[in-house]
Structure 1
Amino acid sequence: MGERQGDTGVNSPPHSEESVVETDEATITEHSELERTLGLAGGLAIGIGTMIGAGIFVFPGLAGSEVGTAATASFAVGGVVALLVALPTSELATAMPKSGGGYYFISRGLGTLAGTIVGLSLWLGLVFATAFYLVGLGYYALDALAEVGISISISSGVLVSVLAVVFGIGFTILNVTGTENAAKLQNGIVALLLSMLVVFLAFGMLEAFGIVDADTPPSEAENVWEVVPILSVAALVFTSYLGFAQVATVAGEMKDPGRNLPLAMIGSVLIVTALYVVTIFVATDVFDQTALEAAGETAMVEIGRELLGTPGALVIIIGGLLATMSSANASILSTSRAIYGVSKDALLPQRASQINLQYGTPHIALGMAGGPIIVLAATRQVQLLAEVASFLHLIMYGLICVALLAIRRDEPEWYDPDFRVPGGPVIPVLGAIASFGLILFMNRLSIAVGIGVIAVTVGWYLYYARDVKLKGVL
């Protein structure tokens, strides 16, 4: 196999002789860049919208049943790990504000092998995570129908699959028609969702401190203040913190990236961590561990019912619908940009990085994202693969921190970030240790499947991408 060149500039050689451009349209799409249409609000919406997903409505019951009110510490640990990675990611993103995010930073800092592993793993991890969000959206839609007394004759499982597929197709088409359209929907969903959550949680806090009386059960969840259980729950709920790095995958479409990228990533982590901690505090104040375990994934709906009756349950159901819609929409956008970045470097066939002339979006990459997502969503068997997505993201987060250390050591001429992480190497070192360390507390099967995915990406590198030479920053 002959040597291939990654796309490192307008004058870079093509992927291979077979990929020589033959039409004017292909020439334009191969060398076009995505338009910068996203502002700070759009970046925050992607980060918050991806993180405020199924996690805030599913994990309080599961986490609270494991360690009680100590689950607040588990969510706080997840937020600290995310923040330790968000800071190095912000520095790298302001130096390399290009679509591809973590893949782009790692490939430039650690080379083609690490870039291939992360780029393909990010794609696959986001595919399965997005399918999980869509299935969750289907279940929330089903609960909403049941709550208002609407009954449909077909089985609930089939209906969930149909809803998941329909929403998946709709979000994919929306993203093809323009990033700005998708961002507007994202901004609206996140604004409404945050408003609902803030009002609901404010009432829950007033009840917790005895300022109002909602006639909730007198018992509270117990504390299990032990390090290993708290960290195990932190590993379980870390799926909730995958969204902040997705902001970096649309760096090539952000206005004033030197300012907006750090604010969007760090701001989304801080806002979401606060919301999660308050949510689990309210949940464990209303129900004890036995009640949380009995309610399981629907615990937040039952907590809403305890606090505000049927209207409270409806608020949570609507919030769940908005949250899963937001997560799915943002993740489809981010998945396509991960494919786009890898393809521009020729680690995947470069046709995937072509840009639609009418809408200015990477339509082939969106098809490669939306297609498998829709197929997986139809199966409804995505829970384990959603957990694997957390494993793959933690690998990427750790390598992002290592990449920052490597780039700082080498000090290439092109490296001139608008934002620098304070404290020298301390934060990236802690970020790498925290990311890799949290993996040790995950379910062993999830680790095994994640390792299997990484093995597949290494195989692709050896078969297709090992001759690709990356030449710095676009």
Structure 2
Amino acid sequence: MSVSETAGKPSGLRRDAHIIGLLFASTTSMIGSGWLFGAFHASRIAGPLSIWSWVVGAVIIMLIALCFAELAALFPRSGALVHMSHASHGEGLGRIWGWMLFLSYVAVPAVEAEAIVTYANNYLPYFIQPHSSGLLTATGFIVCALLLGVLAVLNLFAVKTLLAVNNAITWWKIAVPVLTVVVLIAASTHWGVWKADPTGYQLSGVFTALPSAGIVFSYLGFRAAIDLGGESANPGRNIPLAVIGSVLLSAVIYILLQVAFLMALQPGNLAQGWSHLDFTGAAGPFAGLAATLGIGWMATLLYVDAFISPGGCGLIYVTGGARILFAVGETNAGPSWLRRLNSAQVPWAAVAVMWVVGVVFLLPFPAWQLMVGYITSITVLTYGLGPIVLMVLRRNQPDLKRSFTLWGANIIAPAAFICSNWVIYWTGFETDSFLFILLLVGFLAYAGYFHLVLHKPASEFGWHYIGWLLPWFGGMWVLSALGDVGGGYGVLGFWPGVVLVGLWSIFIIWLSLRSALPAEDTAQMMIAMEKTR
């Protein structure tokens, strides 16, 4: 397989991604393992109110997606999320955010592999430890690593071929959930179960279920269309349509799935209350429900889909993560060999990194729900930058020609940033602690490399423009510790914590705008990015 270094040839990526390809890339990233497990875990946390969890999650993600719809049309680049941060706060933030984005992408194919083996464990009981809430056995770990390898190999084909395969997969991934909704509702005979155990859930569960049950995780895939922006024939039109369309389509499917799941439950499933909801085959919730209702063919179909839906999602996340690494190499935030392309013009070295590090991530998070919390927290953290960048560009470049202009951005962007921080807070102190410690270690390692190995001065690191990150991350960590969610010390009740996070977010918005690049520097940065693809 031939290799080109691409230095001096930033236009090497093909522009073969059209509107349907981009729409389906985002849709297949959103309809992955989340639909197979989310309804079950959400029901345990929020009971019948779990329907509202999916509605609230869709609203939050749509607010964020609308901000990125305008930004993505301005930055039609592969790995566009890396380039955006350069425009608002300079190269220092761009370097940090590039690696944070990588840490958010690389874990997703791993969690999709875990979803596949978790469902398969129902008929091949070798992959999950008994009575362990889904922890992998050694055999399960090896199988997950091999599955990640398959996804990596498939990503070595040209993007046109990859998206053609994904289009076929996505039609399946839309059809099966819709069929599941229809069949389960038609077969349900115990709709009164919605009124069971009325004291077994609280209103706060609507919000804590967003990260814990994988609801926000299920919606995060809209960014796939943004990642492939540099390979789109008409990015100014195609990217916003794909981003917004995929969120709307997925939201309708997920809400209907939660309704169907609740309708299909039987009174005996709730003998121990919503928090202990259980039934035969609960490790594969929808297939288990179909089997208990006597719909054997549906259960079989869902076991087949348990390979296809997570596999398709993992496939596209390897694609997106490789483009993030390509952009990291292109912006000199990482080694130049990340830009190496194979004969199909695919960044093969970045694909290889996605596979290796994805396998490593199976170690600290050897269960689907454990990894979902981490992915939600770090991904929403990286998404939080989007509204900030939008506000900076609206201020610094008001006359910039925009192929898509977000109406009401002065309200939507701050609301999206506040919602991002709420999701991080609702993830809980234990998961947030791992996240912020990981970021702190990574930041210190990168700062040491920049100053001690490369011997570059502090002025080039951009400390003045990235200093606001410390109060943002540190403040969220402290508030998470004081809260009563996911291992917090309970000093703050649920709603006082929500209010304080909102107020802190407003302060961080002010601080980030005050720390942004001057208008002339933003203009120069955007001109420089025209040389990238």
Q: Which TM-score applies when normalising by structure 2? A: 0.76
Cα offset, 1:216, TM superposition: 5.3
Q: Which amino acid aligns with 1:463?
A: G
- Partners of 1:164 and 1:378 within 8 A in 2: no
Write out per-residue CA displacement over residues 190-237 of structure 1, whole angstroms, 9 at most, x where no aligned residue: 1112112212212334x3xxxxx5555863364678542211112322
Contact 1:73–1:230, Cα closer than 8 Å, also in 2: yes
Structure-2 residue corresponding to 1:268:
246
Q: Is the 8 A contact 2:26 2:223 kept in 1?
A: yes
Q: Which residue, 218, 229, 234 being the options, matches 2:210?
A: 234
TM-aligned CA distance change 1:117 to 1:453, over 3 Å: farther
CA distance 1:460–1:35, shift in 2 (3 Å): farther
| Separation of aligned partners in 2, 1:29 and 1:286 | 58
The equivalences for 1:92-107 within 5 A come to 92-107=71-86
Is 1:338 the counterpart of 2:334? The answer is no
The match for 1:425 is 410
Q: Which amino acid aligns with 1:174?
A: L
Check if 1:462 corresponds to 2:447. yes
Residue 280 (1) aligns with residue 265 (2): no
| Number of the residue aligned with 1:108 | 87
Structural RMSD (CA): 2.6
User: Deviation string for 1:309-350 (max 9, x for gaps)?
Assistant: 211211222222211111110111111111111111001112
* 1:362 equivalent in alignment to 2:350: no
| Residues 51, 243 of structure 1: 8 Å contact kept | yes
* 2:28 alignment counterpart: 49
Residue 166 of structure 1 deviates from its aligned partner by 2.4
Aligned length: 435
How far apart are residue 382 of structure 1 and its match? 5.2
Q: Measure the CA separation in 2 of the matches of 1:73 and 1:391.
A: 20
Amino acid corresponding to residue 270 of structure 1 in structure 2: L
**Residues 293 and 68 (structure 1 numbering): CA distance in 2 closer, same or farther, change over 3 Å?**
same
Q: Which residue of 1 aligns with 2:424?
A: 439
| Structure 2 residue 160 is the aligned partner of structure 1 residue 186 | no
Q: Separation in 2 of the partners of 1:435 and 1:82?
A: 9
Deviations 1:267-310 (A, max 9, x none): 11111111111111111122164477214542222222244521
Of residues 175, 184, 192, the one that matches 2:155 is 175
Letter in 1 for 2:242: A
Contact 1:214 1:306 in 2 (8 A): no
CA contact (8 A) 2:339 2:349 kept: yes
Change (3 A) 1:221 1:47: farther
Task: Answer 1 or 2: higher relative contact order, Cα 8 Å, separation at least 6.
Answer: 1
Which whole-Å CA distance do the structure 2 matches of 1:373 and 1:221 have between them?
42
- Give how far 1:142 is off: 4.1
In structure 2, do the counterparts of structure 1 residues 307 and 144 end up closer, same or farther at CA, with 3 Å as the change threshold?
Answer: same
Output the amino acid matched with 2:443.
V
Counterpart of 2:470 in structure 1 is none
Partner of 2:466: none
Amino acid at match of 1:101: A
Distance 1:145 1:194 in 2: 27
Q: Could you say what secondary structure the match of 1:81 adopts?
A: helix
Paired amino acid for 1:344? E
Find the counterpart in structure 2 of residue 149 from structure 1.
Answer: none
Question: Hey, what's the Cα distance between the residues in 1 that align with 2:15 and 2:123?
Answer: 37
**Aligned counterparts of 1:355 and 1:81: Cα–Cα separation in 2:** 37
Percent identical: 20
Question: In 2 relative to 1, CA 87–361 (structure 1 residues): closer, same or farther, beyond 3 Å?
Answer: same
What SS is found at the alignment partner of 1:294?
coil
What is the TM-score of this pair, normalised by structure 1?
0.85
Partner of residue 121, structure 1: 100
Q: Does 1:138 align with 2:123?
A: no
Work out which of the residue numbers 266, 269, 278 in structure 2 matches 1:294.
278
**Partner amino acid, structure 2, of 1:283:** F
- Give unmatched runs, 5+ long, in structure 2: 126-135, 451-457, 463-523
Provide the rounded CA distance (Å) in 2 between the counterparts of 1:380 and 1:402: 31
8 Å contact kept, 1:117–1:454: no
The CA deviation string for residues 337-372 of structure 1, in whole angstroms up to 9 with x for no partner, is: 11111111001112212222x110111111111222
Determine which of 59, 64, 68 is the counterpart of 1:85: 64
Check 1:145–1:184 CA distance in 2 against 1; reply closer, same or farther (3 A cut). Answer: farther
Which residue in the other structure is 1:254 paired with? 232
Taking the aligned partners of 1:412 and 1:285, their CA distance within structure 2 comes to 50
Work out whether 1:351 is the aligned partner of 2:342.
no
Name the CA distance, whole Å, in 2 between partners of 1:439 and 1:341: 26
CA spacing shift, 1:374–1:35, aligned 2, 3 Å: same
CA distance in 2, matches of 1:259, 1:110: 27
Residue equivalent to 2:40? 61
**For the Cα contact (< 8 Å) 2:85–2:389, is it kept in 1?**
yes
Q: Decide which of 190, 204, 209 is 2:184's aligned counterpart.
A: 204
Task: Note the C-alpha offset of 1:118.
Answer: 2.1
Partner of 2:145 in structure 1?
A: 165
2:20 & 2:121 partners in 1: Cα distance? 31
Contact in 1 for aligned 2:391/2:413 (Cα 8 Å)? yes
2:218 corresponds to which letter in structure 1?
A: S
Determine the C-alpha separation between the residues in 1 that align with 2:296 and 2:191: 17
State the AA in 1 paired with 2:248.
L
Unaligned runs of 5+ in 1: 1-23, 147-155, 208-212
Preserved contact between residue 51 and residue 242 of structure 1 (Cα < 8 Å): yes
Q: Which amino acid aligns with 2:84?
A: F
Residue of structure 2 equivalent to 1:450: 435
User: CA–CA distance in 1 between the matches of 2:28 and 2:4?
Assistant: 34
TM-aligned CA deviation for residue 430 of structure 1: 0.9
Measured against aligned partners, the alpha-carbon deviations of 1:17-36 in whole angstroms (never above 9, x if no partner) come to xxxxxxx9435675343111
Q: Distance in 2 between matches of 1:444 and 1:456?
A: 18
